[in-house]
Structure formats: C-alpha cells, structure tokens
Amino acid sequence: MIAVLGLVIGVVVGLFVQPEVPDAVVPYLPIAVVAALDAVFGGVRAMLDGIFNDKVFIVSFLSNVVVAALIVFLGDQLGVGSQLSTGVVVVLGIRIFSNAAAIRRHVFRA
C-alpha cells in the first residue's frame, strides 16, 4: 500500500513540480523508466506468487535501471544508441508482457 502511495505521489510530484532534470541524464530517463517498470511488474508478479522479497526487488530495480541506462550510454558512445535503446525497449517490453500475463493469471485466473 505504501509502495502504491509512493508511486502515486511520485507521479503527482513529477506533474506539478516539474523538476529540472540535468541534461546528462535526459537521454537515459525513458529507458530507465521502462526498466523500472519491468522491475515493478516482476515485483508484483513475485508478490502474487508469494515469493516477494524487499531486498531482491530493490536490487533488481536498481540494477535494471542502471544496466538499461548503461546499455544506452554505451550505444551512444558506439554510435548505435537509437538501435540499442530500441532493442532494450523490446526486451523489456517482452518481459513486461510475460509478467503481466502471470499477474493476469493470478488475479483473474484466466
């Protein structure tokens, strides 16, 4: 519950406060957000499976974000940034979908 509240508060704050993001971070923000979404979906699935673990979630969240941003950064350095970020988004999207399917099976039993 507190976690959901945290998400909601984050969205509200982001919408109304409009904090300035440093330029260096801006290109990696979308990818980081997608990676974090993936971690969150995985966490929800784990919770429904009854194997949720705070530590695992935190580590996976942070590592997902960092690795995704790192891949994109590397891609930018190599000159294939857009392709790599597309690839990352595709992979994360597939994972999000499979996690969402598991969640759906738990919640709707279908």
Partner 1 sequence: MEEEREPAVAEQAVGKTGAEPGKSAGDEAAAKPAGKAVDAPVSEADRESDPDGSEDAAEAAEEAGGTPAAEEPAEKSDATAEPEADSAPQPTLRLTKVTEPAPVAEARAEVKVESKVEPKVGTGAAAKPEPAPAPAAEPEPVSEPEAEPQAAPEPGPTPDRNTGRRRLKAALWPPRLSRGQLVVALLLFSLGLGLAIQVRSTNDHHSQLRGARQEDLVRILDELDSRQQRLQQEKAELEQSLAKLENSSNQAKEAQEQTRKKVTELGVLAGTVKATGPGIVLTVDDPQGQVKADMLLDTLQELRAAGAEAIQINDVRVVVNTYFTDLSAGGVQIDGKKVSQPYRFTVVGNPQDLTPALNIPGGVVRTLESHQARATITQQQKVVVDALVDPKSPQYAKPASK
Kindly list the residues in this chain that would bind partner 1 in the complex (CB under 8 A).
1-15, 18-19, 21, 23, 26-27, 29-30, 32-33, 36-37, 39-40, 42-43, 45-64, 76, 79, 81-82, 95, 99, 102, 105-107, 109
Burial of 52 (0-12, 13-18, 19+ CB in 10 A): middle
Cα-only R_g, the chain = 15
Give dist(CA 65, CA 28) in Å, integer.
9
Beta carbon of residue 8, minimum distance to partner 1 (angstroms, whole number): 7
Beta carbon of residue 109, minimum distance to partner 1 (angstroms, whole number): 6
Beta carbon of residue 97, minimum distance to partner 1 (angstroms, whole number): 13
The residue among 57 and 90 lying less far from partner 1, judged by its C-beta, is: 57
Beta carbon of residue 77, minimum distance to partner 1 (angstroms, whole number): 11
Strands of the chain (E only): list them: none
> Which long-range contacts (C-beta less than 8 Å, at least 24 apart) are formed by 54-57?
none
The residue among 27 and 87 lying less far from partner 1, judged by its C-beta, is: 27
The residue among 30 and 93 lying less far from partner 1, judged by its C-beta, is: 30
Give dist(CA 67, CA 36) in Å, integer.
11
